[in-house]
Structure 1
Amino acid sequence: MRLISHPVLCNYYVTYRCNARCSFCDIWERPSPYIDLHTAERNFKDLKRLGVKVIDFTGGEPLLHREIDKLLNLAKDYGFITTLTTNCLLYPKWAERLKGKVDMLHFSLDSPVKEKHNQSRGVDCYDFLVESIVQAKMLGEKPDILFTVFETNVHQIEEVYHKFCKPNKLVLILNPIFEYNNVETGEKFSVATLQQLKGWTKKPGVYLNEAFIQLRKDGGNHVNNPICKAASSTIVISPKNELVLPCYHLGLKSLSINDNLYQLYKSGEVQNLISLEGKHPQCEGCTINCYMQPSFTVELNKYWWKALPSTIKYNRMKGTWKQLL
């Protein structure tokens, strides 16, 4: 049963450019412009009309955008919940200008071991992460540690929890890796690893959507009965000001917005594409977190119930639950 018929999230790609070379991501290989303030504000107005609550300013590395603070400020003025994830290479430079503008600020981490984290990211950014935590705390900010979980590093969660999160009173977000296109993400999660991850959902100060675990146990999205509601729950906007459907990772169709996002989204062409969400051959087995999470919130099913406790827990920790009502 559908509970929410409108999109709730916008993944706004401010640029595809990135100053890291992560082994499990290929976005940094793409040439890209940067979004501009005027265009973004026009889109914010239409996103508000469409019912979107949250804007994730993403990339690439969003802090490469020279006006990212102004973009965030505009989004806050329109009443959106804002999220941003950074590899921290540029956070020390931006820290003071970002203060109070990001509701859910995530610092990416792949390993508590400096050499392994830098190897995973393809650049030396571990020390910048450590410095960023210090600066954020000094400014009264509370970033989350976003730990990318692989089969090969699940044993390091404990160390991350006690080394970075508990001493600094930061939320630990466990983000299971997912496959897409031809990007190498390593071996699949074993049943034992999924059970180990499930145990972390009950830990204080830890966020892991338990529906992610259930979805992986079920073999991911299935095209004959899709759980994915990516196109109807999430609006994806590219740096070229295009509406990307059904999601960034599949990206079968890109339509120019031309300062008219609302009408474009309501058009017959877009609505037809939305009706095919989760049903494309490439959608079989999909477990992409950034589209499954909003999918779990808009339709009442077993995944909705699995996701509910962790969703309430995280938004209580971040103080954003009232804004979602």
Structure 2
Amino acid sequence: MRLVHHPVLCNYYVTYRCNARCSFCDIWEKPSPYIKLADVEQNLRDLRELGVRVVDFTGGEPLLHQQIDQFLGLAHDLGFITTLTTNCLLYPKWAERLRGKVDMLHFSLDAADKDLHDQGRGVACFDFVQESIQIAKALGERPDILFTVFSENIDQVERVYTEIALPNHLMLLLNPAFSYNTVETGAPLTLNELNYLSTFGKRRNVYLNEAFMQLRREGGNHITAPVCKAASTTLVISPENELILPCYHLGQQNFPIDGNLKKLYQSEEVRQLIALEGRLPACEGCTINCYMQPSFAVELNSYFWKALPSTLKYNWQKGTWKRLLKQAIT
């Protein structure tokens, strides 16, 4: 049973450019412009009218955009929950200007061992994460540690938790790795590794969406009975100011927005593509977290109930429930 019939999230790509070279990502390989402030202003107004509640300014590395603080400020002032994930190479430079504008600030850290983390990211950024944690805390910010979990680094989860997250009173977000297109992410997590993460996710100051675990145990999305609701829950906007459907990672078509995102999203051509969400051949076996998370939240099924405890836990500990409640009232 569908609970929410409007999109709830916007993945807003400010640029595909990146100052890291992560082995599990191909976004940084693409040539890319930067989004324009005027387009952001118009699109945010349309996103509000469409019912979107959360805007994730992403990339590439979003802090490469020289107006990222303005984008976040606009979205925050309009009442959106704002999120941003960074490798921290530029966070010390931006920290003061971002202060108070990011509700969910994620610092990527995939190992407690400096060399292992830097190897996976393709640049020396471990020390910048450590520095950024201290800067953020001094400013009264509460970043999360976002740990992308592979079989190769799952043994580092305990150390990142005990040596970095807990001493700094930060949430540890466990992000099981996913594959897409031709990007090589190694062997999928084994059943024993999934079970280990499920148990670890019950610890204090740890967030793990248990629905991610269930989805992987059941072989991912199945096109005959799709759990994925990517296109109807999430709007993806490119640096070229285009709407990408049905999602970024498996994007089939790009539509120029031309100043009227709401009209475009409600057009018949787009609605026909939305109807194919989770049903395209490339959707079989998909476990892409950034689209499954909102999918789990809008339909009453077993995934909804699996996701609910961790969602409530995170929003309670982060305090974002206050802004969500304000959104519901207004």
Bucket of the pairwise TM-score, normalised by the shorter protein: over 0.9
Q: What's the CA shift string for 1:6-48, capped at 9, x where partnerless?
A: 0000000000000000000000000000111111000000000
Q: Which runs of 5+ in 1 are unaligned?
A: none
TM-score (norm 1): 0.99
**Aligned amino acid, residue 175 of structure 2:** N
Q: How does 1:249-288 map to 2 (within 5 A)?
A: 249-288=249-288
Q: Provide the aligned C-alpha RMSD in A.
A: 0.6
1:193 paired residue number: 193
In 1, the alpha carbon distance for the partners of 2:320 and 2:126 equals 29
1:323 deviates by 2.9
**Helix, strand or coil at the partner of 1:203:** coil
1:191 deviates by 0.7
Q: What's the CA shift string for 1:255-279, capped at 9, x where partnerless?
A: 0000000000000000100000000
The answer to whether the aligner puts 1:143 opposite 2:143 as a matched pair is yes
**Aligned amino acid, residue 258 of structure 2:** N
2:234 paired residue number: 234
**Helix, strand or coil at the partner of 2:278:** coil
1:229 deviates by 0.1
Q: How does 1:79-118 map to 2 (within 5 A)?
A: 79-118=79-118
Runs (4 or more) in structure 1 with deviation over 2 Å come to 322-325
Q: How does 1:70-219 map to 2 (within 5 A)?
A: 70-219=70-219
2:5 paired residue number: 5
1:304 deviates by 0.2
1:221 paired residue number: 221
**Helix, strand or coil at the partner of 1:168:** coil
1:154 deviates by 1.2
In 2, the alpha carbon distance for the partners of 1:14 and 1:251 equals 17
**Aligned amino acid, residue 213 of structure 2:** I
**Aligned amino acid, residue 316 of structure 2:** R
In 1, the alpha carbon distance for the partners of 2:138 and 2:320 equals 22
In 1, the alpha carbon distance for the partners of 2:275 and 2:322 equals 31
2:316 paired residue number: 316
1:101 deviates by 0.5
**Aligned amino acid, residue 72 of structure 1:** L
1:152 deviates by 1.7
Question: How many residues matched?
Answer: 325
Q: What's the CA shift string for 1:204-254, capped at 9, x where partnerless?
A: 000000000000000000000000000000000000000000000011000
Q: How does 1:29-40 map to 2 (within 5 A)?
A: 29-40=29-40
In 2, the alpha carbon distance for the partners of 1:221 and 1:197 equals 20
**Aligned amino acid, residue 86 of structure 1:** T
In 2, the alpha carbon distance for the partners of 1:160 and 1:169 equals 12
2:303 paired residue number: 303
1:45 paired residue number: 45
**Aligned amino acid, residue 99 of structure 1:** R
In 1, the alpha carbon distance for the partners of 2:281 and 2:87 equals 33
The answer to whether the aligner puts 1:58 opposite 2:73 as a matched pair is no
**Helix, strand or coil at the partner of 1:18:** coil
TM-score (norm 2): 0.98
In 2, the alpha carbon distance for the partners of 1:271 and 1:261 equals 13
1:201 deviates by 2.0
1:15 paired residue number: 15
